[in-house]
Structure 1
């Protein structure tokens, strides 16, 4: 279910202080001091709650049955398998009696987002390189969780459900689905389709050789992690939101960060990010092909969404394939 939910959004609706206090009482979390909606919660599911015993995040009105159980599973395993800070304990209340929907409540993690104005305005070049390094290190820790088969967590059975067919078929079918969806809102030409098919064809061998599926966060971006600047330097002080997590090719988690660096023309920082993550990799050709496919997947999602809502922020004269090729060629240049 996780990997099928992309744009759905359930809002919290109106919540009273009395309801929040009842929630706090249920978990013995103290007396309510204040509460506010989160600025970075794109799905509208989250609220910060400050009490006499600490700061918490309320996440409610699940997007699909089992959303919170999946996140709890990922949080529990990441806590036990790595040093990555995640919101634990992740408490779930199944009853809908209080708010009209089930909810989760967890500790609020400390730090600021990478796109926070206070951070952005004061970052030096050395800061940017160091942050790129800690992002790569964090992903390496997350991706150290390896499994036997690619798939997603099934909250009903509390087990891994393999993707139908093999991983490559699942990924390619997913891309083709969103290509067809994007056609509803924009022009995707026969030349675009031929280019897409060629990218996928060239990567077949690279994905056939991929045989170590790992945890994939599915949405590793500045809005889903926090940074703190300690005496020892920058560190990622918290990672959260595992609604899109699954098990597959870990390179997929690099794409949103690489896209930001490419858009900001910070190619030296992107190169540092990749060099820390890849280390002494001897399969650069396969890495490039897989990254190009993952970039294609993200870009067709971004293209279709932007066209659908009229939020295009790039040169709209380019065809889809010409637009994406700017990113895929940059990936080649960075790794070659």
Structure 2
């Protein structure tokens, strides 16, 4: 399901006002005022819809069967047991006849993106630390949802499906798969492969001892949450897009934020983010090793994607292992700096 779908794009195509009004009628959401496709929506799947009853987000043309049912499951459960604002109620269309594909519609959350110019330009150092703290606290809220086994939600059975060969094998196989995939678009040498295998081997014991699976959003990044300023205090006002969610090691959710901080050379903010999160973590054993493997996973995906679409922003002559090692080493230095 979601853990197997990483690179895909189903666009909405042309949508008429008549179709949108029919959709609003089906869910008693008022009269259409305006609609516009989002600039940074989930792979071209989203549109803002403004009606007489409020502002909504239309998400359509799913990447895989059951995408919206799966996301609805996570949204509904989070809204009931976790203190994080998510887009609920999350309605799913009962038929494909209206647009030619299935869809979901949900309330548009309030707030601004962290990378919006009008926000980014006025953030001071203290503001950035407030946001880092809010991100850490939001993730701790998410990770308070604990389950018995690592796996993913299966919309066909409406239940949690355990990873057949265990979490460690699932994660390690996934990394090797995407390293092999990256070899189609770039040079991955034997030395690179040995380096990857060494990183995985060094963390094997830490993962074998991991036994507290939690909800993992799978795509926690600035594009998927909104922030607002409440009397000088910056906080996350809402989180959305749970297409990549599953149950496993919660540390995986920290990686995209840490990567952002490293790329922007905001290491003090990275330390603050990790310090807040780790201080509230029950079990601290093996954190560095596990985080390094999750960073390796993300670096593998980012390397392969950049090479495939010609969007490389680093030295073209740099090997994969040298490039990725920089992030793993910086991550380790950040953690050592707060211990």
**Pairing 1:144-159 to 2, within 5 Å after superposition:** 144-159=144-159
- The verdict on how the C-alpha distance between 1:283 and 1:82 changes in structure 2, with shifts beyond 3 A counting, is closer
Q: Give every structure 1 segment of 4 or more consecutive aligned residues whose post-TM-superposition deviation is greater than 2 Å.
A: 280-285
Partners of 2:148 and 2:33 in 1: CA distance: 47
**Structure 1 residue 9 and structure 2 residue 9: aligned?**
yes
TM-score by length of 1: 0.98
What is the match of residue 166 of structure 2? 166
What is the match of residue 110 of structure 2? 110
After superposition, the C-alpha distances for 1:268-325 in whole angstroms (9 at most, x for unaligned) are 1000000000006686561000000000000000000100010001122211011111
Partners of 2:111 and 2:96 in 1: CA distance: 32
**Pairing 1:169-248 to 2, within 5 Å after superposition:** 169-231=169-231, 233-248=233-248
Instruction: Say which is worse superposed, 320-329 or 274-283, in terms of deviation.
Output: 274-283
**Structure 1 residue 319 and structure 2 residue 319: aligned?**
yes
What is the match of residue 330 of structure 1? 330
Partners of 1:280 and 1:147 in 2: CA distance: 19
What is the match of residue 255 of structure 2? 255
Partners of 1:300 and 1:26 in 2: CA distance: 43
* Residues 284 and 335, structure 1, Cα contact 8 Å, conserved in 2: no
Instruction: Say which is worse superposed, 24-33 or 270-279, in terms of deviation.
Output: 24-33
Partners of 2:330 and 2:81 in 1: CA distance: 34
* Residues 58 and 106, structure 2, Cα contact 8 Å, conserved in 1: yes
What is the match of residue 38 of structure 1? 38
TM-score by length of 2: 0.97
Partners of 2:47 and 2:113 in 1: CA distance: 16
What is the match of residue 139 of structure 2? 139
| 1:245 Cα deviation from its structure 2 partner | 0.3
- The verdict on how the C-alpha distance between 1:225 and 1:281 changes in structure 2, with shifts beyond 3 A counting, is closer
**Pairing 1:42-53 to 2, within 5 Å after superposition:** 42-53=42-53
Partners of 1:53 and 1:28 in 2: CA distance: 9
After superposition, the C-alpha distances for 1:59-80 in whole angstroms (9 at most, x for unaligned) are 1111111100000000011011
**3-state SS of the aligned residue for 1:122?**
coil
After superposition, the CA RMSD in angstroms is: 1.1
After superposition, the C-alpha distances for 1:13-44 in whole angstroms (9 at most, x for unaligned) are 10000111111111111111100001111411
The total of aligned residue pairs comes to 336
Partners of 1:42 and 1:236 in 2: CA distance: 19
Partners of 2:107 and 2:281 in 1: CA distance: 38
- The verdict on how the C-alpha distance between 1:267 and 1:116 changes in structure 2, with shifts beyond 3 A counting, is same
After superposition, the C-alpha distances for 1:167-190 in whole angstroms (9 at most, x for unaligned) are 000000000000100000000011
**3-state SS of the aligned residue for 1:175?**
helix
Partners of 2:94 and 2:78 in 1: CA distance: 23
**3-state SS of the aligned residue for 2:121?**
helix
| 1:83 Cα deviation from its structure 2 partner | 1.1
| 1:164 Cα deviation from its structure 2 partner | 1.6
What is the match of residue 126 of structure 2? 126
Instruction: Say which is worse superposed, 280-289 or 134-143, in terms of deviation.
Output: 280-289
Partners of 1:202 and 1:290 in 2: CA distance: 10
Instruction: Give 5+ residue unaligned stretches, structure 2.
Output: none
Partners of 1:328 and 1:129 in 2: CA distance: 22
Instruction: Give 5+ residue unaligned stretches, structure 1.
Output: none
